[in-house]
Structure 1
């Protein structure tokens, strides 16, 4: 049996909300996802941004059984849905934030009754991906220069959601690639703003805009090396304080 679950990095007393971050991975792999891979480390600054935005909410990082999506098994989505099912009853609302394969996973389970918002960053949404009845707020964001996951797939999925009446915001980030290092400040700001909207101002969810919007720059750009250093610093500042584990 493999263990999976949530590594909590922030858990204030009495928290009834959880911001859950889902990292990227590979198309096919049953290797252990591990705790120190680049994909999960990239999510750590977002944990800090979410904590600062809504300090009353718990913040955790999803830990899958496997590194890969693995075809019809959709293992990361299965793990994530199991976690949502089994979280303690005190957790009433969960904001899902996923990158790449994690973006695909949060979309796939975004119809879960506990989910209070879905933010997919450079999501992997291939043609024919099943349409899920997501509840707003829903935001997709993709770097214009991403060659790992296709921004056109993100836009196409958003269009399908809108055709079913779901309001979706789609942002494009110019001069940005898949690791999200060129405009790291802007990604952090997006996470902070989305978390605040989902958990404290849900009535402010914007109406659906059918055009892709350019995400404005929220601060000065930093070098990729500086962005990597900030990831390491975030990992040191937010150690894992508690684990919620399942077996599967």
Structure 2
């Protein structure tokens, strides 16, 4: 089926989340990739796009402290994936190029949810990308998704076991394929949680922050994250996210 023509407009970066002093260069950048729809050439709503991921960004940049982390939401040209066109992937690649143009040679983490998680995984081959955080990724064809671009990146997937919108078993299959060529892949299962991961949001935020600060700022990973990365499949790809994660001394 022919692809719909995309209106002439550009992707853009949202305002930076976080502040960096004049004498303190940016240490790393998180690009936040919101969800979307399988097919649509309409522009997405900036408010809806950022509502689910801004709390994560604010928490990350606060916790980074003197490591000078910034975050930007990526506003796609349109809200749809649109088949082979995969518009969010091109928009994400543009966004990484724009980060390099603005901030220089800094490490970038692609952090996406739903369709944004798929875009993050696809665009991971950019030389500036050091890590990928994929929350409840939409992977309609997990066995056909490329994984070679993940080599050399640290990758964390997390998925609610009761997700009825995106199939958690498909994210497991992709993680399993990726793990065969890249040891730095792990996946957490959020038991009884659904697509939006609201039920265990504090733990998901803590896990995400732990991963991003470790990959961009050189912080030590928590013991559960270390164990997940070190464990062979299936253990390291079906790691349960414990209740109270990040709320107890590590």
Q: TM-score, normalised by structure 1?
A: 0.82
SS of structure 2 residue aligned to 1:98: strand
In structure 2, the partner of 1:228 is none
Distance apart, 1:130 and its partner CA: 2.0
Quote the Cα distance in structure 1 between the aligned partners of 2:240 and 2:207.
12
Output the aligned Cα RMSD.
1.9
How many pairs align? 219
Which structure shows the higher strand fraction? Answer: 1
In structure 1, the partner of 2:127 is 113
* 1:9 counterpart = 2:17: yes
* 1:215 counterpart = 2:225: no
Alignment gaps of 5+ in structure 1: 221-248
* 1:169 counterpart = 2:186: yes
Q: Deviations over 1:172-201 (max 9, x none)?
A: 001211112111111110121011110223
Quote the Cα distance in structure 1 between the aligned partners of 2:194 and 2:54.
18
Quote the Cα distance in structure 2 between the aligned partners of 1:65 and 1:159.
32
Distance apart, 1:208 and its partner CA: 4.8
In structure 1, the partner of 2:59 is 49
- The list of structure 1 runs, each at least 4 consecutive aligned residues, that deviate by more than 3 angstroms after superposition, is 202-206
Alignment gaps of 5+ in structure 2: 1-7
Quote the Cα distance in structure 2 between the aligned partners of 1:202 and 1:107.
23
- 1:113/1:93 Cα in 2 relative to 1: closer, same or farther (>3 Å)? same
Written as runs of structure 1 = structure 2, the 5 A alignment for 1:59-78 is 59-78=71-90
In structure 2, the partner of 1:151 is 168
Please say which of residues 79-88 and 130-139 is displaced more in the overlay: 130-139
Contact 2:27 2:216 (C-alpha < 8 Å) held by counterparts: no
In structure 2, the partner of 1:132 is 148
Distance apart, 1:20 and its partner CA: 1.1
In structure 1, the partner of 2:5 is none
In structure 2, the partner of 1:239 is none
Distance apart, 1:86 and its partner CA: 2.9
Quote the Cα distance in structure 2 between the aligned partners of 1:72 and 1:166.
29
In structure 1, the partner of 2:36 is 25
Contact 2:19 2:70 (C-alpha < 8 Å) held by counterparts: yes
Written as runs of structure 1 = structure 2, the 5 A alignment for 1:181-196 is 181-196=198-213
Contact 1:110 1:132 (C-alpha < 8 Å) held by counterparts: no
Please say which of residues 162-171 and 106-115 is displaced more in the overlay: 162-171
Q: TM-score, normalised by structure 2?
A: 0.82
Quote the Cα distance in structure 2 between the aligned partners of 1:15 and 1:115.
15
- 1:33/1:91 Cα in 2 relative to 1: closer, same or farther (>3 Å)? farther
SS of structure 1 residue aligned to 2:46: coil
Quote the Cα distance in structure 1 between the aligned partners of 2:87 and 2:55.
25
Quote the Cα distance in structure 1 between the aligned partners of 2:132 and 2:90.
17
